[in-house]
Amino acid sequence: MKILLIEDDEEDALLLTKLLTRNQLEHYDITWEPSYETGLVELLQGKYDLCLVDYRLGTENGIHLIKAARRSSYAGPIILLTGANESEIDIMALQAGADDYISKGQLQSDFLHRIILYAFERKKSEHERERLLSEQIAGKELEKRRNEFISVVVHELKTPLTSLKGYAQLLHKKNLKAGDEQSAHLAERMNSQVDKLTNLINDLLDTTRITNSQLSLHQELFQFDTLVGEIVPELQLTTEHQTIYREGESRQTAWGDRMRIGQVITNLLTNAIKYAAEAERILVKTTVSNETITFCVQDFGPGIPKELQEKVFAPFYRVEKGGYTSASGLGLGLHIASEIIRQHKGSLWVESEEGNGATFCFTLPIYNPCL
């Protein structure tokens, strides 16, 4: 440990050096400066692990030196050495920015060694805490700027995409009217790709809203079974190979954001269609208890390993095992769905065994007019 000793009394400096070099637990490399001026200049070079400074330094004193060092942004540990009869110097030293103080009348090798190590370790802990706090603040600022950037990009992309969709639909109608089925089919595929890109952009926007706690809900009363009955036939049209079977009804009125709950149901069914592409059936099951509606989508695909099941709800996470690597997307759908359900005071989870498919379920509180 490199120590700077600022002491104007040569005998005291020799005594302190002797006490420090006597310690067997730590090797101290000591540099002595005999004056306020040279000591402050040497200290501010930042070459030392710790500074010992005497209170009396000719016409100046150690407290003035400590204040000058702290004003110059010196952050290292400083211990003030006081005389045996100098009262209240201890409080003044701490107020000036000293990390500790010790009376020369108490100087013993082991005691001085403990004071030095304590001041050094405490200052090191303070620096580490400040570093972590700075990193946290910087991380939040970076996250804020990232979210602002995503929001700007998303809004800038939406306008041309809306125009592209309009042109694709117009081309489809014109080509159908002209009897050009091939061109009409190409325009229809263009429109489909625009829809996919729009969905990806909406997912990015929703993720940013979640991060900024701005995902708003427009709640109303709605029939849960009616919502399921609208979505299932629509998604059945997107797959020829798989058949979606419904089992059970809630016969309950729900209170929530109908569009957002529909978004969750659509996400679970779309995932089942994508990730279990080789299976022939998908099972949609609705059950009800005294307080909740439970909705589940069961696929018969490759399943999700136990160690990855919690990760699938994290943003931008995609399973990289089995048949999952071929599916498109940003890995945001389940993250958004879990946040929507959480804001509805429900829960979303997965039950799966690798090789035996996966079942995603969520609960939704039943509307109770008495609450």
Write out pLDDT tens, residues 189-204: 888 888 878 877 877 7
Closest CA to 261 of 308, 237, 226, 287: 226
CB-based contact 131:192 (threshold 8 Å): no
Instruction: Name 102's Cβ contacts closer than 8 Å, sequence gap at least 6.
Output: 79, 80, 81, 82, 111, 112, 115
Q: What is the pTM of this model?
A: 0.55
Q: What torsion do the CA atoms of 258, 262, 263, 267 make, to the nearest 10 degrees?
A: 160
Whole-number average pLDDT of the chain? 85
pLDDT (mean) for 147-153: 72
Between 269 and 190, whose confidence is greater?
269
Domains of the chain with CATH codes:
2-107 (3.40.50.2300), 137-211 (1.10.287), 220-365 (3.30.565.10)
Bridge-partner residues for 5, per DSSP? Answer: 32, 52
Between 135 and 259, whose confidence is greater?
259
Which structure tokens are listed for 259? Answer: 């569009």
Return the H-helix or E-strand segment holding 69: helix 62-71
Q: How far apart are CA 321 and CA 354, in angstroms?
A: 10
pLDDT of residue 223: 93
Which structure tokens are listed for 59? Answer: 């016409």
Q: How far is CA 3 from CA 58, 90, 105, in A?
A: 21, 21, 21
Instruction: Name 344's Cβ contacts closer than 8 Å, sequence gap at least 6.
Output: 217, 256, 257, 260, 261, 364, 365
Which structure tokens are listed for 19? Answer: 């006490």
CB-based contact 52:81 (threshold 8 Å): yes
Amino acid at 81: L
* pLDDT above 90: residue 361: yes
Query: Which residue do the tokens 């001085």 mark?
Result: 112
Pairing relationship of beta strands 292-298 and 253-256 according to DSSP bridges: unpaired
Tell me which of 6-15, 42-51, 71-80, 106-115 is least confident.
Answer: 106-115
Instruction: Name 257's Cβ contacts closer than 8 Å, sequence gap at least 6.
Output: 217, 218, 219, 220, 340, 344
Write out pLDDT tens, residues 280-301: 999 999 999 988 999 999 999 8
Distance of CA 165 to the CA centre of its chain: 35
Hey, how many other C-beta atoms are within 10 angstroms of the C-beta on 29? 12
Tell me which of 43-57, 78-92, 258-272 is least confident.
Answer: 78-92
Q: How far is CA 295 from CA 89, 215, 233, 243, in A?
A: 72, 22, 16, 18
Residue 248 three-state SS: coil
Q: How far apart are CA 166 and CA 309, in angstroms?
A: 40
pLDDT (mean) for 343-350: 93
pLDDT of residue 320: 60
